[in-house]
Chain A
Amino acid sequence: MEGDIVQMGAYIGAGLACMGMGGAAVGVGNVAGNFLSGALRNPSAAAGQTATLFIGIAFAEALGIFSFLVALLLMFAV
């Protein structure tokens, strides 16, 4: 048995941080799905809104990236 309980906790925490991925997936899917349903109703207005789509996706995705960052910090910095 090597390592200690702190390291075990860090690894478990890093694994738990992966749950944040699910939240990011829900968020990004929500943004893209709503964009698509809006775009199919009014296709002529869709082209002008792709920038907004990407901004929305970026904001939703950033929070998923934060959970990745927490996992990295637990693995390598703590």
Chain B
Amino acid sequence: MAAEEQGAGLTFHPMDQFNVTPLFGGDELNFYTVSNAALWMALAVLAATLLFVMGTRGRAIIPTRIQSIAELAYGFVHKMVEDVAGADALKFFPYIFTLFLFIVFSNFLGLLPMAFTPTSHIAVTAVLAMAVFLTVTIVGFVKHGVGFLGLFWVSSAPLALRPILALIEVISYFVRPVSHSIRLAGNMMAGHAVIKVFAAFAPLILISGIGIAVTPLSIIAITAMYGLEILVAFIQAYVFTILTCVYLKDALHPAH
């Protein structure tokens, strides 16, 4: 938008990287079209599968490097589920671990130059978050029946206050999938957009005089942002997973 009006400098739009385009020609996107989003999601699944197929093949007492990584990831999420959601939530460990691996590999593969980040799209993260929301709600009702509604009825509060609190609790319960998905997508999108905005300032040295000052600064800024993005890529996967555990804990132990 602003890029075309400015003329000099920004030759591409920082949001262009989020365009979903078909890989093999054509313009129209159908549900079966192989797009760049599908490619990078498949790569994330492939990477996660490879890590664990390669990592568990040897099963040596003294682990190889790849086995150490696989064990580290497994132990990390296993401990998280046990600590946050309780031991009876370990039934859901495979699901939570799958979520974690998919998000962490999507985030990290999306940091490669020219890559596409599937998790920067609300469409992708909304499906993940809605799946978590539906799972948690169904588990809550199956395990506790109507007693699950006790989650909204704060029995420790004064009676006059409880209907108001119940309303707030219901609203906050239904906002969960929204904030859950937008947090991940927003973080990934914002970080990548900032990197591309700084990248657009880097070639200014070729065009105008002030570029001599701006170009080194923008290159330093890209490097720093990239370092931060590596951190954010992991932390957002961690946060998504740990919030899934928190929601699961609410479903398994709804007592207020």
Contact = CB atoms under 8 A, between A and B. Distances in A.
Q: Do the two chains belong together in a single complex?
A: yes
Interface in B53-97: 80, 83-84
B80 A62 contact: no
- Chain B: number of interface residues, binned into ranges: 10 to 19
A12 to B, nearest CB: 14
Contacts of B235: 54
A69 B1 CA distance: 17
B246 A66 contact: no
Contact of A51 (B83, B183, B189): B83
Contacts of A39: none
B195 interface: no
Contacts of B17: none
A11 B220 CA distance: 29
Chief secondary structure at chain A's binding surface: helix
Interface residues of A, number: 14
Interface in A11-58: 51, 54-55, 57-58
B11 interface: no
B233 interface: no
A21 to B, nearest CB: 10
A54 B186 contact: no
Contact of B182 (A54, A62, A76): A62
In the A-B complex, the 9 residue pairs with the smallest Cβ-Cβ separation, listed nearest first, are A65-B186, A58-B239, A62-B179, A62-B183, A68-B186, A68-B190, A65-B183, A54-B239, A65-B182
Interface of B: 1, 15, 80, 83-84, 179, 182-183, 186-187, 189-190, 235, 238-239, 242-243, 246
Given A66-B182, A68-B186, A72-B189, 8 more contacts: A51-B242, A55-B242, A55-B243, A58-B239, A58-B242, A62-B179, A66-B179, A66-B186
Interface of A: 51, 54-55, 57-58, 61-62, 65-66, 68-69, 72, 75-76
